[in-house]
Structure 1
Amino acid sequence: MSTAAEQFKKSIEVTRPQMNNLGQIEVDYNKPIDKDAPPVIQSIPLEHAYSEAALTLSLDGMKQTEALGNKYIFWHPFSGILVAVVASVYFHKNRLEMLPKVEEEGMWRYLLKNAMKNRETLGAGLMYIFIIGTITFKFLALINEDYFRGKIQQINDENGLSIFGFDVSKYILNDKYLNDKMILKNNVNIIVYRNTPIASIVLKTPTLNVEHEDDDLIEIEKRAFITSLSCRRVYLKSGILEDLVNWAKKRCLDLNDSIYETQNKITGQTVYANELIETLVFKTYSFEFGLEKLMKESGFTLQKLQKLDTKKRKLNALLNVIGVREKIWEITVPTKE
Structure 2
Amino acid sequence: MCESLHCHSKLKNVATTCTIGKNDHMPCTVCIYKSIHASWKAVIAPFPWTRSELALWNYIMGKKTGIGGPIKQIDASLHEPINKDAPPTIYGSHLTPELANASLNLSADFLKQQQSLANKYVIWHPRTLGFSLFCTLAYLVPNAVLPKNTKSASGFIIQFVLMNQTALLTASIVLLMTTSFAFTLLSKVTEKVFQAKVDAIVETEGNLVFGCKLEQLANGTIKPTEKLKNTQIIVYRDTPIALASILENEAVSNADSLVMGISSIGTRRVYVKSGIIEDLLDWALLRTKNIQIGSQKFKSDRSMKLLVDVYSFDQVMKDTLVKKGFTLIKSHKLPESRLLSGIFGMRQELWGVQFRYDSKKEK
Q: TM-score when scaled to structure 1?
A: 0.79
CA RMSD of aligned residues (A): 2.4
Identity of aligned residues (%): 28
- What SS does the aligned partner of 1:186 have? helix
Per the alignment, residue 83 of structure 1 pairs with 132
Could you tell me how far 1:98 is from its partner in structure 2?
Answer: 1.6
Matches within 5 A, 1:180-199: 181-182=225-226, 184-199=227-242
- CA change 1:79–1:201 in 2 (3 A) is same
Cα drift, residue 176 of structure 1: 5.0
Residues 1-27 of structure 1 show CA distances to partners (whole Å, capped at 9, x for unaligned) of xxxxxxxxxxxxxxxxx8965221133
Do 2:123 and 2:129's aligned partners in 1 also have CA atoms closer than 8 Å?
A: no
Q: Answer whether contact 2:260 2:306 (CA < 8 A) is retained.
A: yes
Structure 1 SS opposite 2:262: strand
Task: Report SS of the residue matched to 2:273.
Answer: helix
Q: Which runs of 5+ in 2 are unaligned?
A: 1-50, 59-69
* Cα separation, 2, equivalents of 1:127 and 1:191: 47
- Secondary structure in 2 matching 1:170: helix
State the distance in 2 between where 1:174 and 1:219 align: 33
Following the alignment from structure 1 to structure 2, what is the Cα–Cα distance between the partners of residues 176 and 203? 20
State the 1:113 CA deviation: 2.8
- Contact 1:48–1:175 (8 Å) recurs in 2: no
For 1:238, what is the secondary structure of its paired residue? Answer: coil
Name the structure 1 match of 2:105. 56
Answering whether residue 86 of structure 2 is matched by residue 37 of structure 1, we say yes
Matched residues in 2 for 1:219 and 1:129: separation? Answer: 51
Match for residue 253 of structure 1? 289
TM-fit CA distance, 1:139:
0.6
State the alpha-carbon separation in 1 of the partners of residues 148 and 169 from structure 2.
18
Checking the alignment, whether the CA contact within 8 Å between 1:223 and 1:277 is kept in structure 2 is no
2:170 is the counterpart of 1:149 = no
2:32 alignment counterpart = none
- The residue correspondences of 1:159-178 to structure 2 (distance < 5 A) are 159-174=205-220, 177-178=223-224
Q: Which of 181, 187, 196 does residue 135 from structure 1 map onto?
A: 181
Q: Is the 8 A contact 1:188 1:203 kept in 2?
A: yes
Q: Which residue of 2 aligns with 1:212?
A: none
CA–CA separation in structure 2 for the residues paired with 1:42 and 1:84? 50
List per-residue Cα deviations over 1:145-179 (Å, max 9, x = no partner): 1110111111111111111112111111117522x
**Structure 2 CA distance for partners of 1:219 and 1:289, relative to 1, 3 Å:** closer
* Residue from 236, 239, 252 that aligns with 2:275: 239
Count of aligned positions = 288
The alpha carbon displacement at 1:109 in A equals 5.3
Distance (whole Å) between structure 1 residues aligned to residue 209 and residue 299 of structure 2: 24
Q: SS at the partner of 2:114?
A: helix
The corresponding residue for 2:329 is 303
1:49 alignment partner, SS class? helix
Alignment partner of 2:338 out of 308, 311, 317: 317
Matches of 2:291 and 2:204, distance apart in 1: 27
Higher relative contact order (CA 8 A, sep 6+): 1
State the SS of the aligned residue for 1:292.
helix
State the secondary structure of the residue aligned to 1:278. Answer: strand
SS of match in other structure, 2:186: helix
The structural deviation recorded for 1:266 is 4.4
